[in-house]
Structure 1
């Protein structure tokens, strides 16, 4: 390995939706930087767009190998499960993913849009009835994605609050102890084991019933893989969308974009959502590591076999080599090539669904509350700390 500066990572706390300026400095000076993680030693950090795409798609960078080593990481301990799809490489990853892929096709999402729109309208009607001020996190951004993923998986309505609490703990970095995180993961696992039994006795027209049938009749996946995949979908399938809706509404209300849209100006909402997906730094520092299974050169740097590599999608989405004036929001630009949903085999399975939820939430708000505005100064919005994804604790609004 060549001699170079080793940067302590993370560079600093994730403040609201600000992206640490050190990422830009590294893009300009070190396409692949050496970083010292709080636990497990040193790793590589890739911040550029093209290098990030390369690492995410090249089969020589493995997620499965991370289970076999003292991985450089942010937390003292992390949940490591070989049955978790995010820890698999092809062909196992492909085998498990294709079972659920049919539920997240663009055609299936389009069929869901009227139902999602109805959920949005119901939530906003309740918000209007309660009167201002309101909390967009509590009243819309949180309940909508939970309702959608529960509808797809067939989770009983009465159980939604339980899994919301568990998933919030699982998605933390240091906000909860390793023991609390492990206990929440175990509770989710036991819940999904119960749901499997329920679906065997009384199958329904939902994704989890289809997965149980695939498991029992086609032996596509093991029982543990089935349960773990259900846990992953429950957690990831709503947590990121919750925060995306809240983050985007904060930016639109803070910068005046919402008022322009309400006046009928600006581009269509889908274009607005795409640009905000690129601009908003959803992920906190860290993310999922990959390990080189052989020597690989990335951006002119040799990454040796067995070394860990981290990517930072938010930084890649601001790479000036790819995006003109990347730190500015440009709703007229066509920048759908952003990496917010990842790239390669592990690209987010629910990307089309997440975009539909966000678009329908924004469109519903524009119809119901054209005069919506923040009820507090932007600086007074409180933000979640020590989570894998960024988002406000609450987003007070009035109209």
Structure 2
């Protein structure tokens, strides 16, 4: 059987390699060799990806101690993402009780207020403006800081440390260890401060729950808080410019949102499906028994990696998947993952993205690129695709 080198080609912006479509048609489970680690199976069809991510016969914890197929030279210490039930369920349930949908929705007006303040500052500065530094980065950072109770003035520090969470080759293993260590040290101090002086924020709620229930260790509490801080803004900071870039590249779609802002929630879901955020694939699942994935037998002990971007373009599920369609019938995309490791920040990300898109299309209905598209620079060496900057004018 052919073993393909993966990723199939150098990553170029938000382009999805056509090999995925070929594999979906002819070889939905194929053998691949990632830049590091052992060979793996690659799942590319929607149904197969969902199965691999949700079937309890596939394990994340089994990756511990194995040379896991991966995009980066270092082995990932991904906390809850490296766990199976019941340990995963215990920690995930703890976060879910604090990170509720109601708490997130209660923060929507404040998020809209922050977005309006950033837009006002953009208008005052005048075009051209880098949308990344002026809007996309500060919005999620301020939101997660206020929700967690992290001082916003420390953003320069944890903004740097957070890159360690999504780095593949942009940082050395030594730098990653240094940044993650600094983040943990910072969060230990903040947790101790909130225990002494509780406030109306998420970290205080987590500390109270931990101290009253005693269902997790201090290290687990700090690790969860640090993960929320890093993951709670890093991907959204990346997705806002990605979404705007796609809208500017599809002016008909942008104009539709300007004329029909009620489509924004649908648009966010469609953009989550359409934008291939993940650069390659991460977090292999190991078969614990012999198991059929589609028509292919996966032996016990074999790792399988799943392509979320390919699943979201599966022709068997999405009609005309290469098109951006804000009227697409509701069908769950896999932009936030699936199964027990479904992104627990999905509701926060949805809310922030809805507010960001709605605010921008209302404030700048004629928003456009301020530089030729070929001059845009994309960040290399990360597990997510994103722009260094997005110069815009209006």
TM-score range, shorter chain: over 0.9
Structure-to-structure mapping, 1:375-390, within 5 angstroms:
375-390=370-385
- Equivalent residues of 1:79, 1:182 under 8 A apart: no
CA distance in 2 between counterparts of 1:358 and 1:257 reads 20
Structure-to-structure mapping, 1:246-265, within 5 angstroms:
246-257=241-252, 259-261=254-256, 263-265=258-260
2:329 paired residue among 318, 329, 334: 334
TM-score (norm 2): 0.96
Shift of 1:178: 1.1
SS for the counterpart of 1:348 is coil
**Residue in 1 that maps onto 2:240:** 245
Shift of 1:72: 2.1
Larger deviation, residues 338-347 vs 100-109: 100-109
CA distance in 2 between counterparts of 1:339 and 1:94 reads 21
Are residues 1:43 and 2:40 paired?
A: yes
Shift of 1:336: 4.0
SS for the counterpart of 2:42 is strand
Structure-to-structure mapping, 1:125-140, within 5 angstroms:
125-140=120-135
SS for the counterpart of 1:388 is coil
SS for the counterpart of 2:32 is strand
CA distance in 1 between counterparts of 2:368 and 2:73 reads 41
- Equivalent residues of 1:61, 1:293 under 8 A apart: yes
CA distance in 2 between counterparts of 1:390 and 1:293 reads 32
SS for the counterpart of 1:26 is helix
What is the RMSD of the two structures over their aligned residues, measured on CA atoms?
1.5
Distance 1:223 1:178, change over 3 A: same
- Equivalent residues of 2:70, 2:283 under 8 A apart: no
Shift of 1:26: 0.9
- Equivalent residues of 2:20, 2:310 under 8 A apart: yes
TM-score (norm 1): 0.95
**Residue in 2 that maps onto 1:73:** 70
**Residue in 2 that maps onto 1:362:** 357
Larger deviation, residues 135-144 vs 217-226: 217-226
CA deviations over 1:222-272 (Å, ceiling 9, x no partner)? 112111111211111111111111101001012104651365158611111
Structure-to-structure mapping, 1:10-21, within 5 angstroms:
10-21=7-18
CA distance in 1 between counterparts of 2:18 and 2:192 reads 50
CA distance in 2 between counterparts of 1:156 and 1:240 reads 20
**Residue in 2 that maps onto 1:166:** 161
**Residue in 1 that maps onto 2:21:** 24
- Equivalent residues of 2:253, 2:324 under 8 A apart: no
CA deviations over 1:286-326 (Å, ceiling 9, x no partner)? 21111112221111111111111111101100000111111
1:124 paired residue among 101, 119, 124: 119
Residue segments in structure 2 that go unaligned for 5+ positions in a row? none
**Residue in 2 that maps onto 1:320:** 315
CA distance in 1 between counterparts of 2:251 and 2:170 reads 33
- Equivalent residues of 1:274, 1:336 under 8 A apart: no
**Residue in 2 that maps onto 1:202:** 197
Report the number of matched residues.
Answer: 394
- Equivalent residues of 1:266, 1:331 under 8 A apart: no
**Residue in 1 that maps onto 2:187:** 192
Are residues 1:96 and 2:67 paired?
A: no
CA distance in 2 between counterparts of 1:195 and 1:64 reads 29
1:60 paired residue among 54, 57, 67: 57
Larger deviation, residues 384-393 vs 299-308: 299-308
**Residue in 1 that maps onto 2:297:** 302
Are residues 1:285 and 2:280 paired?
A: yes
CA distance in 2 between counterparts of 1:339 and 1:41 reads 25
Runs of 4+ in 1 over 4 A off after TM superposition: none
Residue segments in structure 1 that go unaligned for 5+ positions in a row? none
- Equivalent residues of 2:133, 2:389 under 8 A apart: yes
**Residue in 1 that maps onto 2:343:** 348
CA distance in 2 between counterparts of 1:131 and 1:251 reads 23
Larger deviation, residues 191-200 vs 98-107: 98-107
Shift of 1:70: 1.6
CA distance in 1 between counterparts of 2:242 and 2:64 reads 32
Distance 1:244 1:373, change over 3 A: same
SS for the counterpart of 2:64 is helix
Distance 1:38 1:371, change over 3 A: closer
SS for the counterpart of 2:171 is coil
